[in-house]
Amino acid sequence: MWGYDVLRCRVCGTPVASDFLFCPECGTTIPAGPGPAYKVAYGAPHLVYAPSYPMVPSPPPRPRGFRARRGLLLSLAALVVLWIPMISIVGALLLSLGSTLIYWDRGEFGRPHRSSVVRAYALFWLAAAVYTVVFLAFVSAAYSAWLNGRTLPSIQSATISFVWDSTVATELVVAAVVLQVWNLLPPKLRRQALAAGVALGLLVLLATVLAHLDVAAGLGPELVRMSTVLGVLNRISVARLVEGPGFVWLAFLYYRARGNAVPAPAPAESATPAA
């Protein structure tokens, strides 16, 4: 830059040409001052007097990995409430936001973490697509039954299909949450993460069996309408309470991962003078 060294302000980090005695951004004195090459070529410094405006240092930048740690915290909260009836939608929203923040901040960490987060993010989207299709199929069957004035037994087969097909989406989420923190955990906790994932996967299957047994026994003689369909969905969600211990176990591992989320070292800046 102009054929001589470029310095950086020690307060705000602004690039400062070596013919400046003060930072043009915040007014901080530049200790190095003009370099020898400049003095030989040009003589006196370009800026002799400090600026008249008060020196206001720039706010410190956010620490590296800030979004990832915030995403881990949101995902932790999501895992605590995701399995609770009536508020599971809140958990789904928190998990969506948390996983997105972790995905955005993946570049601050090493290659293994970046790769696992990309795979986890793909699994989250796949799970969302599967659940959307399954739920719309169930709603479509219920809507058709409502238009024809049918009773709940007419949607029993659709309800059983919904119970089993939605399990696929839940198992994809389980795999994703384990992948998302695998490389942020200390090596001694990774085996525990695998055990927690397997345990939660088995609890999801157990919840599915319990929900199946409940709806297969009968849905009741009521007509199909919004209130009765919501009642059926609540019965299914109650069976999902057995998944709680697995989700809480993974929430604990997310807490540990948040405390150990240390970004990879930033690449050192080149010491070669700018041309």
**pLDDT tens-digit series, residues 128-142:** 999 999 999 999 999
**Domain termination site, one of 61, 82, 101:** 61
Do 140 and 253 lie in one domain? The reply is: yes
Per DSSP, what are the bridge partners of residue 20? Answer: 47
Residue 165, in any domain of the structure:
yes
pTM of the model as a whole: 0.74
Cα(179)–Cα(196) distance, integer angstroms: 12
C-alpha 16/C-alpha 208 separation (Å) is 64
Whether residue 89 sits in one domain with residue 39: no
| Closest-CA residue to 184 (of 99, 79, 109, 74) | 109
One domain for residues 171 and 39: no
Per the structure, the count of domains in the chain is 2
> Do 18 and 75 fall within a single domain?
no
pLDDT confidence bin for 15, thresholds 50/70/90: confident
Domain that holds residue 40: 1-61
Task: Label residue 53 by pLDDT band (50, 70, 90).
Answer: low
pLDDT of residue 265: 66
Q: Give residue-wise pLDDT tens across range 73-118.
A: 999 999 999 989 889 999 999 999 999 999 999 988 889 999 999 9
173 Cβ partners below 8 Å, 6+ apart? 95, 123, 124, 127
Instruction: Among 29, 61, 93, identify where a domain stops.
Output: 61
Cα–Cα distance, 83 to 77 (Å, whole number): 11
Predicted confidence band at 25 (pLDDT cuts at 50, 70, 90)? confident
Residue 22 belongs to a domain? yes
- Residue 18 sits in the same domain as residue 126: no
Q: Which of 33, 61, 89 is the last residue of a domain?
A: 61
The CA distance from 115 to 184, in Å, is 12
